[in-house]
Amino acid sequence: MPKKATRKHPVLTNEALELVAARFRALSDPKRLRILNLLMQGESSVQDLADAAGLEQPSVSRHLAHLRRDGIVQRRAEGNRAIYRIHDTTVVDICEIVCGGLAEQLSEGLDALP
């Protein structure tokens, strides 16, 4: 398989690298990834997310607060419910890249098996 062409990437400042690290930390929790995966299907209430993810509502609320603080999701009120959606769509791109890379790695490993 041919290698992808490399492109020059700017050298980031320490401050910029801290911001990048914070974004990856926000995405490093499997429960937050589960919630984001559900939100990739469309906006949803906290309770609907909790039910679909198999998590307790207070836990989902805490994770959503973290994601909201980092600018990854947005919240809007609908009556007495909070409805969330993905605000920073680059996280969808990141997830697709990582999932695609894992799928490729796994398929290459399977090809090596007799």
Non-local (6+) Cβ contacts of 30 within 8 A are none
Sorted by where each begins, the domain ranges of the chain are 14-88
Q: In terms of Cα–Cα distance, which of 23, 93, 101 is closest to 32? A: 23
Which residue bears the tokens 């959503």?
Answer: 64
For 64-92, how does the pLDDT look when each residue is reduced to its tens digit (9 = 90+)?
999 999 999 999 999 999 999 999 999 99
CATH 1.10.4100.10 fits 14-88, yes or no: no
HSE value, Cβ hemisphere, 13 Å, CA-based, for 77: 2
Alpha carbon distance 83, 101 (integer Å): 31
- Evaluate if residue 33 carries a pLDDT over 60: yes
**Considering only CA atoms, which of 107, 73, 105 is closest in space to residue 88?**
73
Q: What's 5's DSSP letter?
A: P
pLDDT for residue 110 is more than 70 = no
pLDDT band at 37 (very low <50, low <70, confident <90, very high): very high
